Amino acid sequence: MNDWQKYFSVFLVSLGICTLFVNNLNAKSFGLQNAGIESIVERGTVYLDGSSIPEFIPSGDTFRYQDRSYAMKQPGQFFLGAVVYYPLYLINWRFMNHYDYVSHIITFFTSGFMVALIATILYLISHSWWGPLVLLSTIILPYSGVTHHDVIATGVLSIAWFLTIRKQYFVSGIMAGLVLFFSMLPLTSTLAILIAIWLASRSWKLTWQYMLGFGIGLLPSLIFNYLNFANPLLFPNLAGKVSDTIPLLDINNLFTHLYFYLLDPKTSLFFFSPILVFAIFGLKIVFAKSRFLGYLVVVAPILLILHVSMQETFGGYQYGPRYLLPIIPLLAVSAAIAWRELLSIARTIFLVLFVYSLIVALIGAMTTVMYPMPNTPYAPFAQLTLLFAEPPRYRMMPLGFLLIVIGLLFGLAGLKRALKHVNPVGRLDQ
């Protein structure tokens, strides 16, 4: 089978899995994302005022600036969503008359595509289905069902570090700078890429290539800030004078957040996606494959966890600690690579944690990621009740199954063609 056939098969199957669970509960809960998209396409503005849809009246994570209402988010998700929404708008498929379908299609072409792309990258690196399987057993699966800035940014970030592995440092820097057009959350992860490049290469030339690219990738954010807030460095959260995302030098705050992210049975990443614990066992092989990736798997989680633990906020409504989404692909690829070196008893534990993680991820994907944390019961248990009390509608499920079937058939067809070229001693003809 040609490599591109395998990768395309992985992409289609992963996209199909994400598509299965896109539902109306998430579409209803995340109106702000859709409001920003509607503003760009229907009124040609990046501020939110003027919508005739009651649910799109500015509220929640918005702020007033010079008598206009803006989303307290980076604008990238709105522009990307607008690219998808515009042709739908032209054929009169609009939020006003087809809200759920329009929302689902936008999610499919944004967050769904990004998660499927990450899954394909993990397959490329791990050379195993465990790469995408581990990824889709984490909390990233529920977030693939929402047009969500942090998921999209995580996808762009993954492209950036994958390009670095391919030694495309300048282009990697462009993608890393572009990450911040979608979300400020992975800021420390873009720094981690720079640190990992230096640690792996000790080359100022390569680090400068990355930094130059980063500056170019940052231009869309700077231009947006200047045009809307008259200052290229005035990002939306700063323009909105948001203080709870600014790091605090407070020891009690730091340890409270570290407990929230790492140890609390109701909120920790390792209680939502315990399969990621195996990331530590894959580090040796990761370093052998790529010193850069090995350093990144170590440095990026440390920087991000410290960064979000110094903030006042916990992230509000979420299914699992969403502020850790940017490091999940890195932990997932290391955990997937660990499989080949595990002894039988360790593999049994791996499989148990994988199944548990998958069940937790599926519960979140089948309901909604709009869950208040912390100070609430463990989300999977609470969401199970919601699943039966208010069953969601999965309007994209037929498309999801179709993509999975096409992806599997595509992969099997490629495998069949490859087997035809096996000579009698079992070697593939070149």
**Domain membership flag for residue 419:** no
pLDDT of 90 reads 95
- Mean pLDDT (10-residue bins), the chain, 430 residues: 82 97 91 92 91 80 87 94 96 93 97 98 94 97 95 98 96 98 95 97 94 98 94 88 75 94 95 96 93 96 96 88 97 95 91 97 93 85 84 94 94 66 41
Hey, what are 107's tokens?
């999610």
H/E stretch holding 352 reads helix 344-366
Distance CA 91, CA 422 (A): 50
Domain count of the chain? 1
- Examine residue 111 and state whether it is found in any structural domain, yes or no: yes
Q: Provide the pLDDT for residue 197.
A: 97
The residues, any chain, with a CB within 8 Å of residue 77's CB and separated by 6 or more, are 33, 36, 110, 147, 148, 149, 152, 182, 183
Residue 64 lies in a domain: yes
Helices (H) and strands (E) in the chain, counts: 22, 2
| CA-wise closest residue to 309 among 356, 251, 264 | 251
Kindly state whether residue 12 falls inside one of the protein's structural domains. Answer: no
Residue 150 structure tokens: 């942090």
Which residues span the domain enclosing 66? 22-393
**Residue 2, in any domain of the structure:** no
- The answer to whether position 408 is within a domain reads no
Residue 415 lies in a domain: no
The pLDDT of residue 421 is: 54
Task: Measure Cα distances from 92 to 88, 89, 254, 345 in Å.
Answer: 6, 5, 50, 57
pLDDT at 429: 36
| Assigned domain for 413 exists | no
